[in-house]
Structure 1
Amino acid sequence: MIYSVMLEGAKSIGAGAATIASAGAAIGIGNVFSSLIHSVARNPSLAKQLFGYAILGFALTEAIALFALMMAFLISFVFRFFSKKGKLAGPQFKSNRLKRFVRFLLGRLSL
Structure 2
Amino acid sequence: MISKPVAFATALLIASPALAQTGDAARGKAVFARCMACHTVDPGVNRLGPSLAGVVGRTSGTVPGFAYSPAMKNAKIRWDTKSLDAYLAKPIANMPGTKMVFAGLPNPADRANLIAYLATATKK
Under a length normalisation based on structure 1, what TM-score does the superposition of the two structures give?
A: 0.28
Question: Which of structures 1 and 2 has the larger relative contact order (alpha carbons within 8 angstroms, sep 6+)?
Answer: 2
More helix by share: 1
- Point out the structure with max Rg over C-alpha: 1
More strand by share: 1
Under a length normalisation based on structure 2, what TM-score does the superposition of the two structures give?
A: 0.26
